[in-house]
Amino acid sequence: MDAENPVAVEVSVKDAAGKLSGTAAFYVIRNKNNKPQVVGKTESELLNPQFDGTTLKFSVKSRGQQPGTETKVEMRMKLISNTEAELENLEDDSSTVFKMKKVE
């Protein structure tokens, strides 16, 4: 993780004999002393992940609008190259498209 630009999202995918699984970690980043710093993390299992060779579609659980409720958020990660991808929230047209980099 680069201290100047902390990681905002990590997606880990596993393939066990053609069955996909994995997790998505979403980091809360706040500006402290004029530098972005990670101050929290939420991890969610990938629900119904599907990969067509260039695009990974999946859902994650998220807090619902009402306290104590959950909702599913549809996500899409499109591969741009062998080491880069773009992740977007399909539920919110105004959300940021995250630029992703492969980490070994």
Residue 4, domain member (yes or no): no
Summarize pLDDT for 11-55 with one digit per residue, the tens: 999 999 989 999 999 888 888 888 888 888 989 999 999 999 999
Residue numbers of the domain that contains 46: 9-101
> Is residue 54 one of the residues assigned to a domain?
yes
Residue 3: inside a domain = no
Percent of the chain with pLDDT over 70: 94
pLDDT value at position 32?
Answer: 83
pLDDT at 1: 45
Number of domains in the chain: 1
Q: Say whether 34 sits in a helix, a strand or coil.
A: coil
What is the C-alpha separation between 98 and 9, in angstroms, rounded?
8
Specify the pTM.
0.81
Give 52-99 pLDDT, tens digit per residue: 999 999 999 988 778 888 889 999 999 999 999 999 999 888 888 889
In a domain, 1, yes or no: no
Beta carbons within 8 Å of 80's beta carbon, 6+ residues apart: 86
Residue closest to 58 by CA, chosen among 46, 70, 72: 46
